[in-house]
Amino acid sequence: MAKSKVFVVGATGYIGRRIVKASLAQGHITYVLQRDEIGLDIEKLQMLLSFKKEGARLIEASFSSHQSLVEAVKKVDVVICTMSGVHFRSHNLLMQLKLVEAIKEAGTVKRFLPSEFGMDPARMGNALEPGRETFDQKMIVRKAIEEAHIPYTYVSANCFAGYFVPNLSQLERLTPPKHKVCLYGDGNTKAVFMDEEDVATYTIKTIDDPRTLNKTLYLRPPDNILSQRQLVEIWEELSGKKLDKFNISGKDFLASMKDVDYAQKVGIGHFYHIFYEGCLTNFEIGEEAEEASKLYPEVNYTRMDQYLRMFL
C-alpha cells in the first residue's frame, strides 16, 4: 500500500512541529499549511522554511477562504490538525469546523485527526468550569466530523511530558522545583506521561492503520503510567537530592482557583481531573478503542527517567 500524503494544520505549534518531523521521517509526502495570516511572525515563517528544507511542501491557504482550504485538502489523503487548545498560548479549537467543512466538500480525505492529544473529551462530560471549554469544543468538532461521515482517528495522548514531568507537575512552572514539591492528595493517583516526539511517532504510525479507523487511540504505554509520587522519586533518585513534600487536599486545591487568571483556572481544573479524579487511568481501554504501545510494540518509547535527564 502506498504511503498516504499528509497535511498538517498547526505545523509550527508545540506538537505540530513534531508531527511534521515524524511524518517526513516515516516517509510520507508531507504538506504543511502556511496561513495567509502569518503576517510578520518571522519565527513561524522561518520554521515553515526549515520544514521545506527537510522536504515538506508548503501550501498557502486561509481559514477565511473556504475554497483555499478545499483545494489544500484535495491534495492529500490524511489531514492532521494540531491547532492549540491551551489557553495561555492560543485557543482556536472551533476554527477546526472550517476545516471539517472543507474536508466534507472535498470528499477525498481518507482520515482526519482533529486536535485532541490530551484527555479523552468524551469522558469529560462532568468537567469543571472553566476548563471544560476545551473538552466541550473538542466534542463539538467530533460531532461535526461524525455527522459529515469523515473517517477519523482521535488520539488521546494524555500528559505531554514537557508540561507535567520536569516540573514534577507543579503549576505555573516548567522546571524542577529545587526545595519543595506539592503532592496532590496522597500523590498516588496514576497519570500517563508522554514524550512529545513519541506522541508524534505514534500519531503518524496510526494514520494508515485500519485498526484505528473511526476509533480512539490511547497512548498509554505501561512504563509511563506513573503517580506524581513516583515522578518525584525518579527525580530525587536522578538528582541525588530529596525534596520537602507537602500535600494539598482536593478541596484546598480547587479553592486556589479563586484568585488566579482564566488560563490558570483552566489549568487547576485540568490538574484536578488528572491528579485527584484519575481521569486518565480510571477506565479500561475497551473493544471500541486501541492502545498505541500494543499496536506498535516496535516503538521504543521514552521512559520518564530518560526524559528527566535533560534537566540534570
Active site residues: 138
Give 7 or 193: the residue with its C-beta nearer to ligand GFR.
Answer: 193
CA distance 125 to 277: 13
134 vs 206, beta carbon nearer ligand GFR: 134
Residues in contact with ligand GFR, counted by CB under 6 A, come to a total of 16
Selected from 100, 155, 159, 219, the binder of ligand GFR by CB under 6 A is 159
163 binds ligand GFR (CB under 6 A): yes
Does residue number 227 form part of the binding site for ligand GFR (CB under 6 A)?
no
- Quote the least distance from Cβ 85 to ligand GFR, whole Å: 6
Q: Which is nearer to ligand GFR, 32 or 194 (CB)?
A: 194
Should residue 15 be labelled a site residue for ligand GFR when binding is judged by CB under 6 A?
no
Of residues 158, 203, 212, 224, which one binds ligand GFR by CB under 6 A? 158
When binding is defined by CB under 6 A, the residue of 82, 134, 153, 228 that contacts ligand GFR is 134
Cis peptide before 130 (omega within 30 of 0): yes
Residue 297 CB, nearest approach to ligand GFR (Å): 24
- Does residue number 118 form part of the binding site for ligand GFR (CB under 6 A)? yes
Taking CB under 6 A as the criterion, the residue among 113, 144, 266, 304 binding ligand GFR is 266
Per rule CB under 6 A, is residue 114 in the interface with ligand GFR?
no
Site for ligand GFR in 172-211 (CB under 6 A): 172
Give the number of other Cβ atoms within 10 Å of residue 234's Cβ: 19
Instruction: Report the candidate in 153, 154, 150 with the shortest Cα–Cα distance to residue 135.
Output: 154
State the Cα–Cα distance between residues 115 and 124, nearest whole angstrom.
16
Shortest separation between residue 237's beta carbon and ligand GFR, angstroms: 22
**Binding residue for ligand GFR (CB under 6 A) from 26, 214, 239, 264?**
264
Q: What's the CA gap between 112 and 4, in Å, rounded?
A: 12
Among 45, 58, 70, 86, binds ligand GFR (CB under 6 A): 86
Contact between 17 and ligand GFR per CB under 6 A: no
What is the nearest approach in angstroms of ligand GFR to the Cβ of residue 58?
28
- For position 167 contacting ligand GFR by CB under 6 A, the verdict is yes
Whichever of 252 and 298 has its CB closer to ligand GFR, that residue is 252
The rounded distance, in Å, linking the Cα atoms of 6 and 11 is 12
Residue 219 touches ligand GFR, criterion: CB under 6 A: no
In the complex, the residues that contact ligand GFR under the rule CB under 6 A are 86-87, 118-119, 134, 158-159, 163, 167, 171-172, 264, 266-267, 270, 274
